[in-house]
Amino acid sequence: MPGATDPLVKWSWVNDNRGYILSALGQHVELTLIAVAVGFVIAMPLAVAAWKVRALRPPFVTASGLLYVIPSVALFGLLQPITGYFSITTAEVALVSYTLLILLRNTLAGLDAVPDEVRDAARGMGFSATRQLVRVDLPLALPSVFAGLRVATVTVIGLVTVTAFIGQGGLGQLIIQGFTQNGFHTPIVVGLVLSVVLAGVADALLVLVERLTLPWVRLRQAV
């Protein structure tokens, strides 16, 4: 039985519960990937629309900002009667909502930063508005988009631990388990450490993908 004299990390427990830990880690990754992917698919067209039609920018940014500031536990409580109690849908809707402001604002910032002379050159070459968006504006905005993806991903990884309160928490389940066992800290430490490591690995992978897909950015920084 765990007691007050247990070490901070009891490695025998870690070894005996490897399957449980890996399952929680897998669920954490799955919840994060779904939330960021869905948030990206929603935020990108909203950002383009708000950039094209300036009147849409204030309502889009304000609405996503309101979702972002709602405390996560309160948002779960508001969503559960609609999306289901203790359901993965509730967890994902909440997680997606926290990505929208980050992705929307970063995409808008990237599009706003495209130099006017570049757009003038594209128009001079006969680019249509759609072709200019796809071939010029969005590619030049990608560094800012990647920055938003990195922040959104790390944010969601942290928030997934909170979804354990509705039974969909990934590594958060380990943390809750540790708090329910007085004096037994191993699950808490394992959950926290793996969450931090996962956030670091995800951020590093996104940096690597950015460098591989946007070589011109790396070359510009080297000049």
- Set out the domains of the chain in order of their start, with CATH numbers: 11-222 (1.10.3720.10)
User: Looking at 2-16, 134-148, 199-213, which range is the least confident one?
Assistant: 2-16
Q: Is 85 left (phi over 0), alpha (psi -120 to 50) or beta?
A: beta
Given a contact cutoff of 8 angstroms between Cβ atoms, the answer to whether 199 and 154 are in contact is: yes
The count of C-alpha atoms lying within 13 angstroms of the C-alpha of 155, restricted to the half-sphere facing its C-beta, is 21
Cβ neighbours, 10 Å, residue 114: 19
Give residue 8's pLDDT band: very low, low, confident or very high (50, 70, 90).
Answer: confident
Q: How far apart, in whole angstroms, are the C-alpha atoms of residue 213 and residue 134?
A: 15
pTM: 0.89
Name the pLDDT band for 223 (thresholds 50, 70, 90): very low
CA pair distance 152, 160, nearest whole angstrom: 12
- Per residue in 149-185, pLDDT tens? 999 999 999 999 888 888 887 899 998 888 888 778 8
pLDDT tens sequence across 72-83: 888 888 888 888
Cα-based distances in Å from 132 to 6, 40, 109, 118, 121: 63, 21, 17, 10, 10
Query: How does pLDDT run across 148-159, given as a tens digit for each residue?
Result: 999 999 999 999
Q: Quick check: 219 pLDDT over 80?
A: no
- The string of DSSP letters for 169-223 reads -TTHHHHHHHHHSTT--HHHHHHHHHHHHHHHHHHHHHHHHHHHH-HHHHHHHH-
